[in-house]
Amino acid sequence: MIVRKEFLKRSFSKASQTYDENASVQSYMGKRLLEKLDFSSFKHVLEIGSGPGNFTEEIINLYSPEKLALNDISEEMLNICRERFSNHMTIISYHPGDIEKLTLKEKYDLIASNACLQWLFDLEGTLKKFIESLKPNGVLAFTSFGNENVKEITALTQNGLKYLSYSELDSVLKTLNVPYSLQEEIVKFHYTDALNMLKTLKKTGVTGFSKTIWTKGMLNRFVKEFESKFSDANGVYLTWHIYYAVVKESK
């Protein structure tokens, strides 16, 4: 398990310079999540898995928080945020590290995370830690991926993450004993060709769960088969199975 987390850390660190311009799916998810929050003000915010700050920027523009804490497992990602948000340095604090190991010492009006929590080993325990770190009437909002995510790649390679089903995630949320809403969306994103799709995934660190090294022959076979099976008039497509969860602390 430690090896996997270290592999993820290296993968996202390598993608730190290319993530921003290639994260169209993650950008879509973040905007959709914020649309589901019918609150006008969050003064003290914690973001888990900030990456280079795409979702962070949405939070700043929408809520103008007085205090914003950013966490990411990759120090390189946080360095990009430090430069990107240098004009907000008085309100932002940075907390590098694995969120499952970090102790949260403050209380927050909003704890938010976009396309990150699927990497956790102990989702239930970590969500409970988040709930305990919310102020009265605080909100935990996150997106994650479902069990049909990138199913086209899994079908060809027989390799991929084991994502939670809707019912499995719903069961985890029920253990929190607080009001919540859980919605899912299945959407197809198009790419010019299979090679472009793979490069886009690599540039966002999404392939960090696999250590498989493809030979040129393996890559060519994959590209040919993928394009023959999963393409339409708009190019090749990939399915993204997205969960949107909003949890409210009712103390």
Over 80: is that where the pLDDT of 244 sits? yes
- Residue 58 and residue 31 in contact, taking contact as beta carbons nearer than 8 Å: yes
247 closest CA partner among 110, 146, 64:
110
| Separation between Cα atoms, residue 97 and residue 158, nearest integer Å | 31
Dihedral sign, Cα of residue 229, residue 196, residue 210, residue 32 = negative
Cβ-contact 208, 11 below 8 angstroms: yes
pLDDT, greater one: 214 or 34: 34
In DSSP terms, 191 is beta-bridged to: 236
Write down the domain spans for the chain: 2-149+162-188+242-248
176-187 pLDDT per residue, tens? 999 999 999 999
Q: What does the block give as tokens for 106?
A: 């403050």
pTM listed for this prediction: 0.90
- The pLDDT value given to residue 3: 37
Q: How many CB atoms within 10 Å of residue 14?
A: 16
Q: Are 42 and 68 in contact (CB under 8 A)?
A: no
Instruction: Report which residue type is found at 113.
Output: S
Query: Long-range pairs for 189-192 at CB < 8 Å and ≥24 separation?
Result: 189/24, 189/25, 189/237, 189/238, 189/240, 190/232, 190/234, 190/235, 190/236, 190/237, 191/235, 191/236, 191/237, 191/238, 192/235, 192/236
pLDDT band at 19, cuts 50/70/90?
A: very low
Q: How far apart are CA 71 and CA 93, in angstroms?
A: 9
Q: Which fold has domain 2-149+162-188+242-248?
A: Rossmann fold (3.40.50)
What is the C-alpha to C-alpha distance for residues 35 and 2, in angstroms, rounded to an integer? 35
Q: Are 142 and 230 in contact (CB under 8 A)?
A: no
Higher pLDDT, 205 or 223: 223
Determine which of 23-27, 55-59, 168-172 has the lowest per-residue pLDDT on average: 23-27
219 SS3 class:
helix
| pLDDT the model gives residue 213 | 73
